[in-house]
Chain A
């Protein structure tokens, strides 16, 4: 059965997640959406603040998904999928709104490792909200907020109507430095284009064609490795193993598209969260007809030199091994 796309909406406490979600769910593009809201405390509030059409389904989990309640997410999704299979309910996508203090990494990992989630859903996008007024200060002070922003595919700047234009411009610039591959949108009075939540992530929509590194806010690094020549498939698991070996828990996320020597016309999709990697997936066509490899590494205290040289070196070793294996005796 085709897996259901699932998007994760994160953002620090008070950053406007619920307002954005509430606004989005009124749009026809997000009809037939199942929403899972994760709240601290036994009595939830956020779900009562969301007005939805009758087509939307709201489920509530309590306890933080990133620590004690991962099983709760699995059960909730499993229940939704089972009822969908039985024809009791109908939805086309799922949105999970996390608590403001949630670390997104364990939640993303559970999509890869939990049997129910791995089989039933596919991660579409991670969206993080950031307050235009307090966001800068929150990023400086709160590790959770930095991890939420660093792991995001898209970042929504909220409350821009309360901040002056310069402050909004400044925070957008700072986010690009923190996570250069995230798409950033400024919401106006809680309104945002629904496609921001639904579109596929293409981390390669940059002008550059070389590896790069950005570093700001504590120790969070974003490294993008680019190759115009295809990479050997066998080099990739070796590369991930070496990254995990050296970076350990400091590696937060690895994502991107790869061009494989063995199948250069089919884009390979890389998706890893900390030390857990999904097997290579495939797209039908190259986005914007641009071939090549673009891998983004997000983590703490990462080295561009090491990561870039490692990929080249492993690719060369695999290439040589293949050459020797195929050489006549």
Chain B
């Protein structure tokens, strides 16, 4: 997932999953991949995914907001979902008791 094409695919898919109309443009930066999500309301969201010494760091920002950094895709997804589709209901996973699944 180091390529711009892969990040583009992921972000386009996320927009589709959230039912958000947007154009995604990605490029390779110095430290990793960068993307801009252009929405019809002209608000642009900037995303970067960089490999640091301690792991992957996602950065999310808009023209009007400070950069938010996330150490995992999960945090980035939550942050992006809040920006892209704030009224969309989000789910929280529950894990059933650990009894092992026989089959």
> Which A residues have a C-beta under 8 Å from some C-beta of B?
2-3, 112-113, 115, 118-119, 122, 200, 237-238, 240-249, 251, 269, 271, 274-283, 301-310, 312-314, 316-317, 320-321, 324
Q: How far is the CA of A244 from the CA of B19 in the complex (A)?
A: 15
Contact stretch, chosen from B40-48, B60-68, B86-94: B86-94
Cβ-defined contact, A303 with B72, below 8 A: no
B102 in complex: contacting residue of A122, A304, A313, CB < 8 Å:
A122
CA distance A120 to B102 in the complex (A): 12
Q: Are B55 and A321 in contact (CB under 8 A)?
A: yes
Task: Say if the beta carbon of B31 comes within 8 Å of chain A.
Answer: no
Apart from A245-B78, A271-B101, 8 more pairs, CB < 8 Å: A118-B97, A200-B103, A238-B74, A307-B17, A308-B9, A308-B13, A317-B56, A321-B55
Do residues B9 and A320 form an inter-chain contact, with CB atoms below 8 A?
A: no
Partner of A310, one of B12, B73, B88: B73
Q: In the complex the two chains form, is B14's CB within 8 Å of A246's CB? A: yes
Q: A245-B91, A321-B55 are in contact. Are A122 and B13 (CB under 8 A)?
A: no
Q: Find out whether the CB atom of A304 lies under 8 angstroms from the CB atom of B98.
A: no
Name A113's closest neighbour in chain B (CB-CB).
B96
CB pair B10 A306 closer than 8 Å: yes
B17 touches A113 (CB 8 A): no
The contact of A245 among B55, B90, B100, by CB within 8 Å, is B90
The reply to whether A313 and B10 contact each other, CB–CB distance below 8 Å, is: yes
Question: B94 and A242: CB pair below 8 A?
Answer: no
A251–B74 alpha-carbon span in the complex (Å): 17
| Given the contacts A242-B74, A275-B93, A275-B94, A309 and B13 also touching, CB distance less than 8 Å | yes
Binding site for A on B (CB under 8 A): 1, 6, 9-10, 12-14, 16-19, 51, 53-56, 72-74, 77-78, 81, 88-103
Q: Give which listed residue, B6, B17, B19, contacts A312 with CB less than 8 A.
A: B6
Q: When the two chains form their complex, are residues A324 and B55 in contact, meaning their CB atoms are under 8 A apart?
A: yes
Q: What is the bound-complex CA distance between A309 and B99, given in angstroms?
A: 30
A2 and B102 contacting across the interface, CB-CB below 8 Å? yes
- The residue in B16, B53, B56, B101 that gathers the most chain A C-beta atoms within 10 A of its C-beta is B101
> 15 A-B Cβ contacts within 8 A?
A122-B103, A245-B78, A245-B81, A245-B91, A248-B90, A278-B96, A305-B10, A305-B12, A306-B10, A306-B13, A307-B13, A308-B9, A313-B73, A314-B73, A316-B1
Residue from A269, A277, A306 within 8 A of B93 (CB atoms): A277
- The distance in angstroms between the C-alpha atoms of A309 and B2, with both chains bound, is 12
Q: Counting chain A CB atoms within 10 Å of each CB, which of B10, B92, B96 scores highest?
A: B96
Q: How far is the CA of A19 from the CA of B99 in the complex (A)?
A: 35
Which residues of chain B have C-beta atoms less than 8 A from A306's C-beta? 10, 12-14, 16-17
> Across the interface, do B74 and A245 meet the contact criterion of CB distance under 8 Å?
yes
- Which B residues are in CB contact (< 8 Å) with A115? 97
CA distance A305 to B14 in the complex (A): 8
Residues of B within 8 A of A276 (CB): 93-96
**Chain A residues with CB below 8 A from B81, complex form:** 245-246
Q: Closest residue of chain A to B2, judged by CB?
A: A316
Complexed CA–CA distance, A304 and B17 (Å): 9
A118 to B94, CA, bound (A): 14
Query: From residue B57, how far is it (CB to closest CB) to chain A in Å?
Result: 11
Q: Which residues of A contact B97 (CB under 8 A)?
A: 115, 118-119, 279
**Interchain CB contact under 8 A, B54 and A278:** no
Taking a contact as CB atoms under 8 Å apart, the answer to whether B55 and A317 are in contact is yes
- With both chains docked as a complex, state the minimum distance between the C-beta of B33 and any C-beta of chain A, in angstroms: 11
Closest 7 CB pairs of A and B: A281-B101, A306-B13, A305-B13, A309-B10, A244-B91, A112-B96, A248-B91
